[in-house]
Amino acid sequence: MKKIVFAVFVIFVFLAAAAFADAAVIKVKVTTANVRQQPDATSAVISRATLGTLFEVIKKTGNWFEVAVTDATGRTVTGFINADVVEEIGAPGAPAQPQRTAPAPSAPAYSAPRASTGASGGKFLVMLGPVLSNLASSEPVEDPWKKSFRFGLAAGAGYEMPLGTNLSAVGALVFSTGGANFSATDSTGAYKYSFVGNALAVPLYIKYSFNGPFVLAGPYFGLVMSPKITYDYAGDTGEEAIETANMNTFIFGLILGGGLEMDLGGMKGFLQLVYNLGLSKLNKEGTGTVKPNSINIIFGIKL
């Protein structure tokens, strides 16, 4: 609905300009001309026009012409081009050829990716970041033991496929550390042990962008690899492998999160915070359930 209202507004502006004989046709006379968001040389560049591009002027503000262009998200918007880089070639009301502009590579930080419905608009993703993992248990940890997060790392690669304006689907392959820490202290000393359950996971989620900020949600599936217990019992340290026959190594759950995209000088970067909600239980025995959860802070780039 907003797009329709905006399109009607742009048409009205053009018609009103023609009616009052303020319109003119201008032609770009330099190799590349910047179209800015505001009539100011320091304003953000929203598009770029090549030599010979024709525009029909909406109005003139000082030394700037207001024209209609297509921005980096594929929307028709108005911008401003400096009079020093164009020349007036048409009388008021003269028809203008279709403008040949390209989204500016240096579009404002946090701008959304170009909307596309084809596979050609897809981007490869490289991701890396810290992980805080834990175990959600249906039964409380017995005193004097205390459970806490285990700090680790996640790294992976994926592909983002546009589905429409501001909407995309993402699939990835991610290696992530997992597990939880347990500690206790008594008169004989301090005791620690950790369940280590690193996993190779495939998250599949839908992402919706708000022209920079975005939210995401979807399922994930994975395998726990080489689970083990590491311990430090009053100075006696070591580790023990867990027999995979005694636990469920196939895991699944939901990912929920959000983040922010930004321009990194020619490529897109993003920062996202994701909560992995485990829905599958790790334990095969016992009356309770133990499920893996984690919080991921991901830094990534689009290639």
**Residue range 118-165, pLDDT digits in tens:** 334 688 999 999 999 999 988 888 888 899 999 999 999 999 998 887
CATH architecture of 119-302: Beta Barrel (2.40)
Sheet arrangement for strand 86-90: 54-56, 25-28, 86-90
Q: At residue 187, does pLDDT exceed 80?
A: no
Residues of the chain with CATH 2.40.160: 119-302
State how far the Cα of 143 lies from the Cα of 160, in Å rounded to an integer: 46
Coil vs helix vs strand at 217 = strand
Non-local (6+) Cβ contacts of 178 within 8 A are 131, 133, 150, 152, 196, 197, 198, 199, 224, 292, 294
Bond into 144 cis (ω within 30): yes
**Average pLDDT rounded to a whole number, residues 2-14:** 48
Rounded Cα–Cα distance for residues 134 and 296 (Å): 12
The pLDDT confidence band at residue 185, using thresholds 50, 70 and 90, is confident
- Averaged pLDDT of the chain: 82
CB-side exposure of 106: number of CA atoms within 13 Å?
Answer: 9
| pLDDT at position 109 over 50 | no
Given a cut of 50, is residue 115 above it in pLDDT? no
Q: Sorting pLDDT into bands at 50, 70 and 90, what band is 117?
A: very low
How far is 192 from 212, CA to CA, in rounded Å? Answer: 43
Confidence of residue 243 (pLDDT cuts 50, 70, 90): confident
pLDDT reported for residue 235: 78
User: Quick one: pLDDT band at residue 41, thresholds 50, 70, 90?
Assistant: confident
In this prediction, what percent of the chain has a pLDDT beyond 90?
43
Q: How far apart are CA 34 and CA 69, in angstroms?
A: 11
Domain 2-102 has CATH 2.30.30.40: yes
The pLDDT score that the predictor gives to residue 233 is: 85
Residue 96: pLDDT band (50, 70, 90) is very low
Domain with CATH 2.30.30.40 in the chain: 2-102
**What are the residue ranges of helices labelled H in the chain?**
2-19
- pTM assigned to the model: 0.59
| Six token digits for residue 82 | 């400096």
Percent of the chain beyond pLDDT 70? 82
